[in-house]
């Protein structure tokens, strides 16, 4: 029995569900019961009836699943799979930010800790950020944490007054350059570029489409000849799904090291031992749940 067969057998025996973010490596995504972006996986985690959820992603995602589905045991296969973007703001910094803008509402990107979610009015993902911002009255000032690139893009799209925190995803901020884009456009002039809104403004300006991860997936399904500016693991999986399509990552070396920590060996280990359980203290969970539920209500 190979490792994939062992994982499937154990998963079925334990009535477990495997959720995988679409920045995971191809073999993990192939084994998952559900794969998708943060919004899609949040919805699946909440709906799941399984007693055991194995979340192949990073810590803030597993925390979100644990908050949305307190009945389930949530396992993160790699305990130290974190998120540098989420680490760019802590609860004390957010409280200070709020104190400087006491009338403002706080919209927090889902790429944040449970404690930061608990201090926010509503969460958002890249897929629903504009929709969430537009749900506030037009004259409302909004504090957006922690991603400055997504926050700035949302402000432009919505025309709202948004004050952004100075955080960023290192992969999307530093992984892609205008020079790389110009080089590829010279080689492939008929290719369009799609970019994630976490990218630096330099890339956003020249992208043909700025899309969330799930938006990119839909776009790839319908189009061909694309340059893709997001985590290269996403491009790898799209190429795996559509081998006939011509897809190029803007930078094949731009990927999240934390996402790539999850492999078949530690997924099997997580199912066997159930040791790396993710739990959120009740006083934080209750407040964070309010912000997450509000996001889900507004996303319909």
Q: What is the mean pLDDT of residues 52-64?
A: 97
Residue 57 in contact with residue 268, Cβ under 8 Å? no
pLDDT of residue 39: 83
- 216-269 per-position pLDDT tens digit: 999 999 999 999 999 999 999 999 999 999 999 999 999 999 999 999 999 999
Radius of gyration of the chain (CA): 19
pLDDT band of residue 29 (cuts 50, 70, 90) is very high
Percent of the chain with pLDDT over 70: 100
pTM: 0.95
- 141-165 per-position pLDDT tens digit: 999 999 999 999 999 999 999 999 9
Give the strand pairing for 209-210 and 52-56. Answer: unpaired
Interacting residues of 158 by C-beta distance below 8 A, sequence separation 6+: 130, 133, 134
Cα–Cα distance measured from residue 72 to residue 74, given in angstroms and rounded to the nearest whole number: 6
pLDDT of residue 56: 98
> CA nearest 265: which of 56, 64, 72?
56
Q: What is the mean pLDDT of residues 35-40?
A: 91
Contacts 24+ apart (CB under 8 A), 5-8: 6/268, 7/31, 7/264, 7/267, 7/268, 7/271
Cα–Cα distance measured from residue 97 to residue 176, given in angstroms and rounded to the nearest whole number: 30
pLDDT band of residue 50 (cuts 50, 70, 90) is very high
Domains of the chain, earliest start first: 3-82+260-280 (3.40.50.10800), 86-168 (3.40.50.10800), 172-255 (3.40.50.10800)
Give the strand pairing for 141-145 and 34-36. Answer: unpaired
pLDDT of residue 299: 83
Cα–Cα distance measured from residue 185 to residue 190, given in angstroms and rounded to the nearest whole number: 8
- 61-71 per-position pLDDT tens digit: 999 999 999 99
What rounded mean pLDDT belongs to the chain?
A: 97
Residue 86 predicted with pLDDT over 90:
yes
Residue 300 predicted with pLDDT over 80:
no
> CA nearest 292: which of 52, 53, 284?
284
pLDDT of residue 15: 97
- 270-286 per-position pLDDT tens digit: 999 999 999 999 999 99
pLDDT band of residue 293 (cuts 50, 70, 90) is very high
Residue 14 predicted with pLDDT over 90:
yes
- 170-191 per-position pLDDT tens digit: 999 999 999 999 999 999 999 9
pLDDT of residue 196: 98
């Amino acid at each position: 029995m190979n490792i994939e067969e062992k994982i499937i057998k154990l998963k079925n025996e334990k009535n477990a569900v495997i959720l995988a973010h679409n920045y995971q490596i191809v073999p993990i995504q192939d084994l998952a019961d559900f794969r998708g972006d943060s919004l899609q996986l949040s919805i699946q985690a909440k709906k799941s009836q399984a007693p055991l959820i194995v979340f192949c992603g990073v810590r803030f995602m597993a925390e979100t699943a644990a908050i949305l589905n307190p009945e389930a045991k949530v396992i993160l296969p790699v305990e130290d799979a974190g998120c540098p973007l989420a680490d760019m703001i802590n609860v004390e910094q957010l409280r200070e930010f709020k104190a400087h803008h006491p009338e403002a509402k706080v919209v927090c990107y889902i790429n944040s800790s449970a404690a930061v979610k608990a201090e926010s009015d509503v969460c958002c993902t890249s897929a629903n950020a504009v929709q969430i911002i537009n749900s506030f009255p037009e004259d409302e000032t909004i504090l957006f944490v922690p991603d400055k690139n997504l926050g700035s893009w949302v402000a432009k799209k919505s025309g709202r007054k948004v004050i952004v925190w100075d955080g960023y995803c290192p992969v999307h901020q530093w992984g892609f350059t205008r020079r790389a884009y110009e080089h590829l456009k010279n080689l492939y002039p008929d290719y369009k570029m799609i970019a994630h809104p976490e990218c630096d403004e330099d890339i956003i300006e020249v992208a043909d489409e700025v899309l969330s991860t799930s938006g990119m997936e839909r776009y790839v399904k319908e189009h061909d000849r694309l340059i893709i500016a997001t985590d290269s693991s996403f491009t790898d999986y799209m190429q795996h799904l559509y081998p006939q399509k011509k897809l190029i990552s803007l930078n094949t070396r731009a990927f999240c090291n934390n996402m790539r920590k999850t492999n078949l060996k530690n997924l099997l280990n997580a199912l066997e031992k159930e040791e790396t359980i993710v739990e959120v203290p009740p006083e934080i969970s209750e407040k964070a749940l309010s912000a997450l539920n509000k996001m889900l209500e507004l996303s319909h």
